[in-house]
Structure 1
Amino acid sequence: MGIDDRDYMRERQRARSGSTRWNDRAGRVEGAWFDPAIRSFDYQRGRWRGSRRSSPVRYIPFALSLLLILIPLYGEAQRAGWLPDREAAMPFPESGSVTVASWAMHEPVSSFLTVETADSNAVVQLIDPTTGRHAISIYVSKNDRIRVPVPQGTFRLRLIEGQKWHGPVRYFGSNTSYETAAELMIFAPRAGHIIDLHRRPDGNLKTRMMLSRPEAL
């Protein structure tokens, strides 16, 4: 093959291969082994390397931990009246007064409930755990202690607390703290319970925040 023929073949090969080059000494065509199209292949492990992007799943434990901290702080802010509330306050009912459902008036009243409040006004409710019906609501002013007779039976205790009273429909407005006791309470004849609403680490009244609003009385 002459020099002209050799140059012709070289130019023809370059036109065909595009990303290859002619190696005169080795006498072979060498490909561009590490061009961008194949750099992501791991030759040592025989697999393709994906892009290293952090998965959102790794942040779930952190988000849950943050949520467990923020929920109690939100309830504390409501009880203290820190959330915006521009409506005029109404007089809070007399401490120790009650609202009793019509069906509960026919139940025997031989038990009692003692409530001691902290720095928030409170409405303590007893709810029928089977039907979800309201039985009795007890109004207790802040920093007070009262004892009232209640129907005997098994009830779910719910706590509604706040500062500015807006009536039995809106309760404490945007600052309505609404919680439910984790365990049912049994009110036996001539017996009762004492609940202290001062929050403390060693308290034995376990509650959880309610996501819904309390029903109007």
Structure 2
Amino acid sequence: MGLDDREYMRERYRARAKDNRWNDRAGGIEGRWFDPVNRGFDYQNGRFRGSRRPRGSILRWLPFALSLLLVAIPAYHSLKREGWLPDTRPARAFPESGSVTISPFVSPKSASARLTVITSNANAVVQLFEPDSGRHILSLYVRKNERTTTAVPPGTYRMKIIEGQRWHGPTEFFGSSTTYETITELMSFSRLEGNGIDLNRRPDGNLRTRPNWNAPAPL
């Protein structure tokens, strides 16, 4: 290496030394290698360290999301029940209030109790099922904004409600406006004491239901 080359290397070394300084407190060298633009890089693993979102921030929004869901589900069912969803298919005449579809396993002579139904602004099919076997007992048709009473066999049943606007028959029921719910408590009927429901939803009402996301079985 000639003199010119050695002088060149010395000048280059001095130029690099100006950009770095010793930090006695940190016990290391500060300079370009540790510039702010490089501080987000994980040199040991060869990747940038992304900022992790604290888990607490997600949990903080969870109660709000659940509350919103509890409001959205009833609102969605109300829109369907009142016919706000589009239904362009031709509708059929809904059966007269008090009409029933009875299971072949039930004798009409055994129907000595009374079921009363008051509907809201939607046609309704009120169904009774055996709570253990799930066997269908009876389906009662009630037109919107009407009240009807029919005879049912005494016993304790699981009640389910199908509601909607435009009737498409006992297979498709009310098409896109079909809502299908189950009364949470079992309904009991006796010869001396009947039972009934009022489908007009009110904030202070005692009708407790849960939505059924599967379609009702054809009658």
Both structures adopt the same fold (TM-score exceeding 0.5): yes
**Normalised-by-shorter TM-score class:** 0.7 to 0.9
Find the counterpart in structure 2 of residue 88 from structure 1: 90
Q: Classify the secondary structure of the residue corresponding to 1:203.
A: coil
Contact 1:21 1:31 in 2 (8 A): no
RMSD: 3.2
Unmatched segments (≥5 aa) in structure 2: 43-48
Which whole-Å deviations, capped at 9, do the CAs of 1:144-179 have from their partners, x for residues lacking one? 111111111111111111111111001111101111
Find the counterpart in structure 1 of residue 148 from structure 2: 146
Q: Classify the secondary structure of the residue corresponding to 2:17.
A: strand
Contact 1:89 1:165 in 2 (8 A): yes
Structure 2 counterpart of 1:79, which letter?
Answer: R
Find the counterpart in structure 1 of residue 71 from structure 2: 69
Q: Classify the secondary structure of the residue corresponding to 2:94.
A: coil
Give the whole-Å Cα distance in 2 for the aligned partners of 1:83 and 1:50. Answer: 45
Unmatched segments (≥5 aa) in structure 1: 15-19, 42-48
- For residues 14-93 of structure 1, what are the structure 2 equivalents within 5 Å? 21-22=16-17, 30-32=29-31, 33-38=34-39, 51-53=51-53, 57-58=58-59, 59-93=61-95
Which residue, 209, 214, 217 being the options, matches 1:215? Answer: 217
Aligned-pair distance for 1:35? Answer: 4.9
Contact 1:155 1:186 in 2 (8 A): yes
Aligned-pair distance for 1:110? Answer: 2.2
Contact 2:22 2:29 in 1 (8 A): no
Give the whole-Å Cα distance in 2 for the aligned partners of 1:165 and 1:50. Answer: 56
What TM-score, normalized to structure 2?
A: 0.79
Q: Classify the secondary structure of the residue corresponding to 1:167.
A: coil
Distance 1:35 1:213, change over 3 A: same
Distance 1:27 1:150, change over 3 A: closer
Which whole-Å deviations, capped at 9, do the CAs of 1:67-113 have from their partners, x for residues lacking one? 21221111111121111101111111111011000112278322111
Count of aligned residue pairs for this structure pair: 202
Structure 2 counterpart of 1:132, which letter?
Answer: G
Aligned-pair distance for 1:210? Answer: 1.0
Find the counterpart in structure 1 of residue 174 from structure 2: 172
